[in-house]
Amino acid sequence: MVTPAPPGTQTLARGLAVVRAVADGATDLRTLVERTGLGRSTAHRLVQLLVRESYLRSGRDGYTLGPTLIELGFQALHGNPLPVVARPVLEELSAQLSDTVHLAVRDGASVLYLDKLPGSRGAEMRSRIGHRMPLTRTGVGMALLLDSPHEWPERYRADAPVAADRVRPEDLEGFLTRMREYAASGVAMDLEDNEPGIRCVAVPVRDAAGAIAGAISVAATRPYMPAARMRGLAGVVGRAAQRISAGLGHRAG
């Protein structure tokens, strides 16, 4: 169920819907109207304003996100201490392992990638900075959920590729068993849950209060990430996460 916009904010909500539609791939007015449900004239007026203020661009390829959003995005990113504190540690981890390294946070029901250092071997992964993915289908997402066992069943059903009422009980129980093991060890593992052939080891990052503030992961294609290496990487990634946590003020008990 969509929550209605508060009174007096409908125009703002419509403008934000247009920006979101462009971010999701709408490049022309017709598609914008279809995606947002706005009238053609309303959508056109909003696009004109958003282009004038540089929130959107209008060019040969249609509408795209504009430089104002890029500027605000970088300000938001650097206003969060986590990416700043994590970056040197991620760079060391990337240089040491030659695999893809991620930093992510939870954004509602999704994983939001804040940083990515691509590996120097294997296939390129579809993750990217600013990209969102389901929590229970990614290593970093599962790491972000380690302190929230009450959410595990609901999130698994919501993220499943089938309707929630068609999720098999044995699949759910298998996921819950994995999550209990991950919570006990403090390390989550993506066993090709998100992309075929891609595996990763992920560990949460904690803030000064001990709460999970984000997660980091090391990912590679299956030939470079056999089960034995994944187990060996748990300590490496865990120590990196501890360093980042310490930079946020966390003190391990």
pLDDT of amino acid 79:
65
β 56-59/62-65 pair status: antiparallel
pLDDT 10s digits, 16-41: 999 989 988 899 999 999 999 999 99
The dihedral region occupied by 130, where left means phi > 0, alpha psi between -120 and 50, and beta the remainder, is left
Domain co-membership, 30 together with 149: no
- Could you tell me if residue 136 is inside a domain? yes
**Both structure tokens of 248:** 């946020």
**Selection from 50, 89, 43, 71 nearest residue 205 by Cα:** 89
- Could you tell me if residue 32 is inside a domain? yes
pLDDT 10s digits, 57-85: 998 889 998 888 877 876 766 666 899 89
pLDDT 10s digits, 126-143: 788 888 999 999 999 999
Domain end among 55, 72, 89: 72
Check: CB of residue 203 under 8 Å from CB of residue 216: yes
pLDDT of amino acid 40:
92
Res. 89: pLDDT tops 70: yes
- Could you tell me if residue 252 is inside a domain? no
Helix (H) or strand (E) holding 58: strand 56-59
Res. 4: pLDDT tops 80: no
Work out the mean pLDDT of the chain and round it to a whole number.
90
Confidence of residue 1 (pLDDT cuts 50, 70, 90): very low
CATH code: domain of residue 49: 1.10.10.10
Domain co-membership, 53 together with 32: yes
**Selection from 61, 63, 58 nearest residue 36 by Cα:** 63
Domain co-membership, 176 together with 224: yes
- Could you tell me if residue 253 is inside a domain? no
Domain co-membership, 117 together with 226: yes
Domain co-membership, 84 together with 183: yes
**Selection from 191, 199, 182, 196 nearest residue 100 by Cα:** 199
- Could you tell me if residue 5 is inside a domain? no
Helix H, strand E, coil C: the string for 127-153 is CCCCCEEEHHHCHHHHHHCCCCHHHHH
Q: Based on the structure, what is the number of domains in the chain?
A: 2
* Integer CA distances (angstroms), 158 to 150, 154, 188, in order: 14, 6, 19
* Residues 184-192, mean pLDDT to the nearest whole number: 95
Domain limits for position 55: 10-72
**Rounded CA gap, 188 and 221, in Å?**
17
pLDDT of amino acid 73:
73
Res. 3: pLDDT tops 80: no
Domain co-membership, 123 together with 226: yes
Domain co-membership, 65 together with 89: no
- Could you tell me if residue 122 is inside a domain? yes
Confidence of residue 2 (pLDDT cuts 50, 70, 90): very low
- Could you tell me if residue 207 is inside a domain? yes
pLDDT of amino acid 130:
86
- Could you tell me if residue 125 is inside a domain? yes
Q: Which residues contact 182 (CB under 8 A, 6 or more apart)?
A: 142, 143, 146, 188, 189
Domain co-membership, 115 together with 181: yes
Helix (H) or strand (E) holding 217: strand 212-221
DSSP annotation string for 137-206: GSHHHHHHTTT-GGGHHHHHHHHSSS-GGGS-HHHHHHHHHHHHHHHHHT-EEEESSSSTTEEEEEEEEE
Domain co-membership, 38 together with 104: no
pLDDT of amino acid 76:
67
**Rounded CA gap, 245 and 20, in Å?**
33
Domain end among 26, 55, 72: 72
Check: CB of residue 190 under 8 Å from CB of residue 138: yes
Domain co-membership, 205 together with 232: yes
The model's pTM: 0.72
Domain co-membership, 21 together with 121: no
Give the three-state DSSP class for 101: strand
pLDDT > 90 fraction of the chain, expressed in percent and rounded? 68
pLDDT 10s digits, 143-164: 999 999 999 999 999 998 877 7
Size of the chain, expressed as the number of residues it contains:
253
